[in-house]
Chain A
Amino acid sequence: MAENKVKKVTVNTTINGQEMDILIDPYVSLLETLREVVGITGTKEGCNDGNCGACTVNLDGRIVDSCLVLGVEAEGKNIETVEGMASPDGLHPLQQAFLEEAALQCGICTPGFLVSAKALLDNEPDPSEERIRHWLAGNLCRCTGYDKIVKAVTKASKESK
């Protein structure tokens, strides 16, 4: 295997409202960048190939699988992770609803679901059950069977009004 000289790259990006410069290899994913370089581990790795949604983040207003985005692509962009959802005033209504509705069991998929659901409610304040299920189909949960997750999202949508 021929050696390919690859240098680290500086990336200027905004994560959960905080602007920062980070130094990363150009070939690492945004997921790895967040977890290992920025040091926030709320976003999880479930499969590393875009099939489970555990790594979902919000990139410039759209939810993406961060395992399939390069860290360098964060340049000049706004990224929101689960860590950015609560504020000093309290939890986001979705987070509160997830707790009240017991929409998590082991909790590993929860950050991905929260980020995905927030993107839905930000644009569609009153989604039907079908729409919620369709929107969340890219997020796998093995513990809950999705019932309580769907109910929590519906509850949060009503509370946000």
Chain B
Amino acid sequence: MHPFNYYAPETVNEAIEILNKYGDKAKCLAGGTDVLVQARGEKFELDAIVDIKKIPQLTKLEWTDSHLIVGAATPCHVLYEDSKVCEVFPGIVDSAFLIGGIQIQSRASLGGNLCNASPSADAICSLIVHEVICEIAGPKGTREIPVEDMCTGPGKNALTNGEFLVSLKIPLKNSEFSASYERFIPRNEMDIAVAAVASSIELSNGKVSSCRVALAAVGPTPIFAKEASELLVGKEPTDENIRKVSEKAKDIASPIADMRGTIEHRKDLIEVLTRRTIEKALERAGG
């Protein structure tokens, strides 16, 4: 492995300076569960690794009036061990609980999972259906983008030179909102998703006022299945109506065949998981 230097900046600006200096020869280190494997596997050659865990904003969990702000390097276990997060955002906790096993969850973060931008990532679909906003810091200042714009291709994200993800802003919703994430794997743990879906539902007077469905492992990036999601808006969440969404999601999915799954199986799974996550989200939302 190409030898690299280690930096542990304590402020956002320090981090930006180092990242800017090294350009694409430096990467951020949050949990390390993706980036160290890739560095060893010679996916890229690094001259520096920038450990962002010493910057306070990067590991926080903060409730404001409008959002839950999760630092980009906050480990998964912090989320699922927090009873309020579990109560308010079970869909996010679904993801945090599924990435790897306990050892991985001690370190891996939703932010890292997002920036790694794998098409089969476990965190991204949940973030999409929660309308999460990414707070990014860079040499030109800070900016915000919706999470569904973060992944630009398999393993590629929208960050430019010197930029890094600081935190995720999860908007608080009213009590008739909830979400669910389910992935299909052949074993019961430790696998990468063959196919996965997150769905969020908001109810109003017995009808669906908002629905978002996102699909993983069936395209070059996680897919926000907008057309499928819209089919349920303004409707009653009957089995028939839900089935329309899941069939449309199956249509939208464009998987490839690889060592983790066949095209046909992945498409079938998208239909099944869309149905199941909508039903679960409804149940959680009290519908």
Contact = CB atoms under 8 A, between A and B. Distances in A.
Interface in A14-31: 25-27, 29
Given A64-B107, A137-B188, A138-B101, A29 B36 contact: yes
Interface residues of B, number: 31
Interface in B201-226: none
Nearest to A6: B3
A103 interface: no
A138 B190 contact: yes
Contacts of A62: 77, 106
Interface in A50-81: 50-51, 53, 56, 59, 62-65, 67-70, 72-73
B176 interface: no
A116 interface: yes
A1 interface: yes
A144 B102 CA distance: 21
A68 B1 contact: no
Bin chain A's interface residue count. 20 to 34
A70 B189 contact: no
B45 A6 contact: no
A65 B104 CA distance: 7
B32 A63 contact: no
A40 B237 CA distance: 59
B51 interface: yes
Nearest to B53: A73
A139 B39 CA distance: 23
Contacts of A137: 101-102, 188-190
A1 B2 CA distance: 9
A138 B102 contact: yes
Contacts of B33: 50, 65, 68
Nearest to B188: A137
A91 interface: no
A25 to B, nearest CB: 7
Given A48-B40, A138-B190, A4 B102 contact: no
Contact of A63 (B3, B4, B51, B102): B102
Interface string B71-113: 0000001000000000000000000000011111011000000
B6 interface: yes
A51 B40 CA distance: 15
Interface string B1-14: 11111101000000
B47 interface: yes
Nearest to A62: B106
Contact of A64 (B45, B106, B189): B106
B51 A73 contact: yes
Nearest to B6: A26
A56 B37 CA distance: 16
B103 A65 contact: yes
B242 interface: no
Q: Which 7 pairs show the lowest CB-CB distances between chains A and B?
A: A138-B101, A26-B6, A137-B189, A62-B106, A6-B3, A4-B47, A65-B103
